[in-house]
Amino acid sequence: MSDSAVHQFPGLFDPLTLRGLEFAHRGWVAAMCQYSADAVNAPGVPNDWHLMHLGSFAAGGAALIITEATAVSPEGRISPQDTGIYNGEQVQAWRRITDFVHRYGAADTRIGVQLAHAGRKASTYAPFAEGSGSVPEADGGWLTVGPTAEPFGRYAAPEALDEAGIRKVIEDFAAAAKRSVEAGFDTIEIHAAHGYLLHQFLTPLVNTRTDGWGGSEEGRNRLTLEVIDAVRAVMPDSMPLLLRISATDWTAGGVDEHTSARLSAQASARGVDFVDVSTGGAVPGAAIPVAPGYQTGFAEHVRTHADVPTGAVGLIRTAAEAEQTLREGRADAVLIARAALSDPHWWLHAADALDAKLPWAPQYERAHKA
């Protein structure tokens, strides 16, 4: 690709506007579960760990930070240690964090909440807990739900959602979106990826229902689209709405880039402003060819065929890799995860590497002077 072709697209430190919200640049933080809420004394409530974890990215120059998967109901948590936004105590705790990010962000940092329901992958032990698999009810777990009663691998079998249960899920997403606005978030991301509840309905590998919530691509997409409608209806018109998807199940017969592009186009028509493109998670045992930038082609396909801005995520580690992804038109923003955990000041270092100007946190200004 020639230099002229590469530079027709914006780079990492060019601004991006979605609806009425401007982001200082296109280097964002992907959602990363921390499994650090106090499951006994303050279930679902973010605490000092979350303030430090997310606040460090703000001080480090991220333009947008997306929280970990934040449950819309108690039964929607991946683990008992997950955060939620289904009660007032959680709203106030999140408000403390959003206020901190807005006050101290080195790049006029924005913060978004990822609203999630884990479905049949809920009620599991945290990765660094002593147990593994599903948490029994006697140890603080709960009955999970899904499109059918088929379990995920060796996890406990869920209860198939009936019409009333599905309607409650939609209402829970809407109520959580209202609380997210109250908590001071700048944007909302709906989590429909990684084998969690909305993805479970989207993929034919899991959703074998024959009623109006399955049976065809239209039926399988219905829950995600109705959640989008419900969430968009309670958000300010100026607030952008993001959608995270798994663009492929990496398994024959599952969702792929074509079904994902069609879903994204429908989502865009209903008020989604940006699609955060990941992959996988629906079924155990999928063979995933993990390598640097291995998901960027899916972000490019959705961007091109659905005509919607997209984000690329997945082993994008260096400023050069992020810049190349954007300059080649594969995505409109890059979301950093593991690299941010390794270096919470990744964006300040990336700006130095690319000779870009970034409004440093004043406490760090001396580090960037000769």
Q: Which residues are catalytic?
A: 196
Helix (H) or strand (E) holding 16: strand 16-18
Residue type, 22: E
Residue 220 to residues 9, 214, 225, 329, Cα–Cα distance (Å): 35, 4, 10, 30
- With 0-12 / 13-18 / 19 or more C-beta atoms within 10 angstroms meaning exposed / middle / buried, residue 270 is middle
Q: Is 327 helix (H, G, I), strand (E, B) or coil?
A: helix
User: d(Cα 238, Cα 181) in Å, to the nearest integer?
Assistant: 12
For 191, the 3-state DSSP assignment is strand
Question: Hey, what's the torsion of the CAs at 110, 115, 116, 117, to 10 degrees?
Answer: 160
* 3-state SS class at 194: coil
The phi and psi torsions of 198 (rounded to 5 degrees) equal -65, -40
Residue 66, both tokens: 């997306």
- Collapsing DSSP to helix, strand or coil, 68 comes out as strand
Amino acid at 32: M
Token pair belonging to 217:
């691509």
Quick check: 160 and 207 in contact, CB under 8 A? no
**Could you give the CA distance from residue 302 to residue 307 in angstroms, rounded to a whole number?**
7
Nearest to 176 by CA among 43, 89, 72: 72
